[in-house]
């Protein structure tokens, strides 16, 4: 959290607030793991993000972002067609959505 001001703001800390050091955070994480609740906490956090229309993307800290994600409305068959490189049939919701993006 001390790495960037935006991180501090995200978790609700101000300039005058103290933040826990890495040892404290590691200790808490280990206690949560031993209690068997860390996975449940992350699942709850993920569910909350999704309820807000957000999705956590991980990997590297430089590209970890919360982004809105579109509601999927295509059928599985339509997705197969799109992935196969075949354009959606004219007049379908998928075709109309694709033409709006262009």
What would the 3-class secondary structure string for 25-55 be? HHHHHHHHHHHCCHHHHHHHHHHHHHHCCEE
> Residue 68 phi/psi, 5° resolution?
-65, 145
What span, in angstroms and rounded, lies between the C-alpha atoms of 5 and 94? Answer: 41
Whether residue 16 sits in one domain with residue 62: yes
Residue 31 has pLDDT above 90, yes or no: yes
What span, in angstroms and rounded, lies between the C-alpha atoms of 33 and 38? Answer: 5
Whether residue 83 sits in one domain with residue 63: no
Whether residue 79 sits in one domain with residue 63: no
Give residue 64's domain range: 5-68
Whether residue 60 sits in one domain with residue 93: no
Whether residue 102 sits in one domain with residue 84: yes
Per the structure, the count of domains in the chain is 2
Q: Decide which of 51 and 96 is more confident.
A: 51
Structure-token match 């860390």, residue found: 38
Q: How confident is the model at residue 101 (pLDDT cuts 50, 70, 90)?
A: very low
For residue 84, give the DSSP letter: T
Residue 76 has pLDDT above 70, yes or no: yes
Rounded to an integer, the average pLDDT of 24-51 is 90
User: What was the pLDDT predicted at 35?
Assistant: 93
């Amino acid at each position: 959290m001390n790495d960037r001001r935006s991180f501090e703001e995200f978790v609700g800390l101000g300039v005058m607030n103290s933040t826990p050091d890495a040892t404290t955070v590691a200790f808490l994480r280990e206690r949560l793991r031993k209690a068997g609740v860390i996975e449940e906490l992350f699942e709850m956090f993920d569910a909350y993000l999704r309820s807000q229309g957000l999705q956590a993307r991980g990997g590297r800290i430089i590209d970890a972002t919360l982004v809105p994600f579109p509601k999927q409305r295509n059928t599985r068959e339509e997705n197969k067609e799109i992935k196969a490189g075949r354009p959606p049939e004219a007049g379908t919701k998928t075709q109309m959505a694709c033409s709006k993006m262009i």
